[in-house]
């Protein structure tokens, strides 16, 4: 689950132009009534849906088909020094990923800190 810290937080408009993806956003805005809650949507080339993820939300997805193409527009440029992540399988978030035993997870995502630890570090 990726996001950017201030001064370069990003909103994202996400769509899939080929294949399909299970896409997730997590509210990481402390003080929000939905803090720590997540929402998901299936995006595909067939359903042509788009998913708006506002600033203050972490974002992640899993491809549901081989050769899936995920595209997004952002409200700010990528800034490596503002990059942050939350572990995809954090038990506090309890995201119901499809077929988690079959997922291929990058080292960077496997090593991401847990949700509350991430927020403590960002302060």
Active-site residue set = 2, 72
φ, ψ for residue 20, nearest 5 deg: -155, 150
Q: How many helices (H) and strands (E) does the chain have?
A: 2, 8
* Token digits of residue 58: 């972490």
The token pair at 31 is: 């003080």
């Amino acid at each position: 689950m990726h996001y950017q810290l201030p001064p370069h937080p990003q909103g994202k408009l996400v769509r899939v132009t080929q294949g399909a993806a299970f896409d997730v956003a997590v509210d990481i805005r402390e003080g929000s009534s939905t803090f720590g809650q997540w929402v998901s949507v299936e995006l595909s080339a067939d359903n042509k849906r788009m998913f708006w993820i506002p600033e203050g939300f972490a974002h992640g997805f899993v491809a549901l088909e081989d050769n899936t193409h995920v595209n997004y527009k952002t409200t700010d440029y990528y800034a490596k020094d503002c990059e942050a992540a939350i572990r995809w399988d954090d038990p506090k978030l309890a995201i119901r990923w499809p077929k988690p035993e079959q997922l291929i997870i990058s080292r960077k995502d496997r090593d991401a800190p847990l949700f509350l630890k991430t927020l403590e570090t960002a302060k």
